[in-house]
Structure 1
Amino acid sequence: MTPTNTTAAPSGATPATDTPVVELRGAGKAYGNVRALHGVDLTVHPGKVTCVLGDNGAGKSTLIKIISGLHQHTEGEFLVDGTPVRFTTPREALDAGIATVYQDLATVPLMPVWRNFFLGSEMTKGPWPIRRLDIEKMKQTADAELRNMGIVLDDLEQPIGTLSGGQRQCVAIARAVYFGARVLILDEPTAALGVKQSGVVLKYIAAARDRGLGVIFITHNPHHAYMVGDHFSVLRLGTMELSAARDQVTLEELTNHMAGGTELAALKHELAQVRGVDVDELPEEKDLTAPGASTKDGTA
């Protein structure tokens, strides 16, 4: 195979529109007799942050795998730009502009920052078959793209493993933006970070949104989601428990859904019988659905 020079250009900002870049309609995934995801509706618009929340086992990972092309849905529809698709590999999803930043970030800790930025898509120069890495151009491009996202590093030669967790997340986000991502899936980017570093990552999520990307922010932290989210979807046991725009749900209501408030409300009378348990502050079941929000049974 003849090597070619990588000439990917940074993507420009795209104004938000009413046409979803990615849309799931009644999507689901079954592994044999085990149904991991069922009846999920999700839309991702340019310039918007869609937050997907859920506890362990809620179906968040399965949702990521469907959208990123790792697994295929077994029910419902998956549309990109209004056209039904069925990705067979993650490369097909990347070609459609869907990039995923996983928790491990797919970086090599001992390699310099600039090498990780172009890992797998290195720029080359010179005639074939003696082409060589265009190191200077890669360094200049990585520095310029990181600065465009507001990330200033003193030394791009330092191993990326020496950066903080928040800085590594930001480099991965900038890399995805540079290589043409239109939809950015972030898998629990703040899960292992402290308060300060989480704030740094949230700032760059907002920066990606402002550049016109549709962002899918996977998290189990409703406080982080509410800081940057435009729409909130809560998964529970593979189904959509709540789907609401920002103006339809409060942080308290989102937290109640995320923390299993419905189950707590149903068990309130039993907890009241346990000595030493104060149930006065537990939510009432009728208070848990935000006005105008869609619930798992389709009612508002």
Structure 2
Amino acid sequence: MDAITGPFRRLVTPWVRHPTVLGSDVAGEIAAVGGGSTRFRVGERVVGYAAGQERLRNNSEEGGFQRYVTVLERVCAELPDTVTFEQAAVLPLGVSTASAGLYEKDQLALPLPTSAPSARGDVVLVWGASTSVGSNAVQLARASGYTVIATAGRRNHDFVRSLGAEAVFDYRDPEVDRLIVDAIGHRHLAGTMAIGGGALTHALRIAGRTTGTKNIASAYPDPLTRLRSLLARVRGIRVTSIWGGTPVQSPVGPAIFRDFLPVALRSGAFRPAPAPKIVGVGLEQVPRALAALRKGISATKLVVTIPAEDITP
């Protein structure tokens, strides 16, 4: 469950006006197909990014917290029968944000993922790998052929390694920066995904002590990020701020949701992560889920299900 609420909404999405419907992550069966689309059919199982709050969409019909949601074909993926709707619902915004940071031309600009990647030898650092964005960034970077070194809380190390990380370090360890630099060794650092509070500080230190592109994509809405990015240029380090909805409009969206995800989910090469936690049944449970989200969660994503009888025309 992802939604921008509270005092930060006006700062992050000032263009959104009432009436609006929040929510970005949806999965279910297609009820109708329009706009000349021939890719999908009614009744097909899909997962999609609900783009209603994006600047160029700004459309309440495309918000996720409702029984029927209009989803753009370019950010919608077919689901295999082996993936439940609850599992799939953890994906859209996490995948979109991770993809934006890794692949957009003004971010890390890495090669797109494939179902059979060749090893590149370079390293991608994912700071905050047990988060929704981080879980997807680890898997996507591996699918692009990179070795992944990551950080997470100690209790989530096995989870992050299961996603494909070569090594995982405790972000609370006072020696974490040195340990990561030592783990990278003489290999090139192809880029860093800095996720969560404090991530950028560590990413800057590590980038300054390793060889490679020295590009950092920051997924944390810190007001100081732009200032710090300007200061980092003096050291040859490029810091950019990720906007998770960018793939809705860019070529990255269909490259991931149309070309990569359906095949990767079907083969098992990519798995929905982090695990879903069902908060309740029915739209009336959304406020409860948002309240739980504000209290903080770890290596999980909150999901609200809608009974089939509630979505019958």
**Structure having greater relative contact order (Cα 8 Å, sep ≥ 6):** 1
Instruction: Report which of the two has the higher share of strand.
Output: 1
TM-score of the superposed pair, with normalisation by structure 2: 0.28
